[in-house]
Amino acid sequence: MLLPLACTKVVEFELPPAPQQNALNVILTADSFIGGFAYQTLSPTGSDSVKFITEGSMVIKDEDGNTQAFQLNNPKGSYFSSNRVKQGECYSMNFTSSLGVSSSNACIPAHPKVIIIDSGLRVRQAGSADTLFFINIGIEDSANISNFYRITCEADVVDKININPFGQNDTTYRKVNLSINSNNLLYFVNEYNFDNRALLLKDDNFDGQIAYLNFTVSTSRSKSLQFYVDAIDENLFNYHSTAAAQFAVQTDPNAHYINVYNNINNGYGIMGGRNRVLIKWLRHW
């Protein structure tokens, strides 16, 4: 029996060079310094690492047209002023570099109303050395306005344990984002939660009410935890949800590409506002 042989023809072609543009990360947090970071976009076929824009001009104005003065913090492409972000204020931004002029705007949400009901430590299971930090909270939502929230937990975890010349432990720590577990399936099992290190929440199910939520986080090798409840604007919500979705499917050859939300005119990136509540936990050795 003769079988037909498949012929494969390799067609080579070159992609046209993609023009470089400003890529900006300007997340304005209430009571923090005003500013952001500037990078160059990278070629989709290149192997370059992140390139910071070190010679640019960032100007952010408040609603009254007051201009914030910025200084470049070399070499990381960061542009910040000594002025702080005000709650409830709206800001406009223009960034100028050799790649062009980019612009955007953002408003800072009201401070989230968080009620801490209970918190503490418990053993994961009998006989286990691993402990869990648990926290039960309520988020009191404002009525007749769309509100968006993001919940994260950062920890100082053991990186290295060295013995110094005096026979003492000399421990170094590094910051990591921890996975957060929750039983509140109504709020966190949906089309925009893809990463349990950052839970996103819309007030669709509790507009003008209190959402009662419970969370647990492993404290293994952690010296301290910083638990954040952020009120974020819709720009940040869309950015975080699409970025997490794109990251979740990037290794799946059958998944369709997801465009990460972008609100930078004549450029790429995000400008958004947030207002946060910080809950700290410190291990007592």
φ, ψ at 276 (rounded to 5°): -125, 150
| Alpha carbon separation from 184 to 134, 201, 246 (Å, rounded) | 14, 11, 24
The helix (H) or strand (E) run that includes residue 163 is: strand 148-163
C-alpha neighbours within 13 Å on the C-beta side of residue 135: 23
With CA atoms as reference, report the closest residue to 114 among 230, 218, 206, 13. 230
CB 223 within 8 A of CB 158: yes
Q: Tally Cβ neighbours within 10 Å of residue 236.
A: 25
pTM greater than 0.75: yes
* Highest mean pLDDT of the ranges 93-107, 144-158, 162-176: 93-107
Q: For position 127, what pLDDT does the model report?
A: 59
More confident residue, 248 or 245: 245
Q: For position 50, what pLDDT does the model report?
A: 83
Distance between CA 141 and CA 109 in Å, rounded?
12
Tokens of 35: 């500013």
Q: Is 129 exposed, middle or buried (0-12, 13-18, 19+ CB in 10 A)?
A: exposed
More confident residue, 266 or 165: 266
Q: Is 119 exposed, middle or buried (0-12, 13-18, 19+ CB in 10 A)?
A: middle
Q: For position 47, what pLDDT does the model report?
A: 58
| Of the listed ranges 14-18, 56-60, 137-141, 234-238, the one predicted with least confidence | 14-18
Per-residue pLDDT tens for 77-125? 899 998 999 999 999 999 999 999 999 999 999 999 999 999 988 877 6
CB 182 within 8 A of CB 106: no
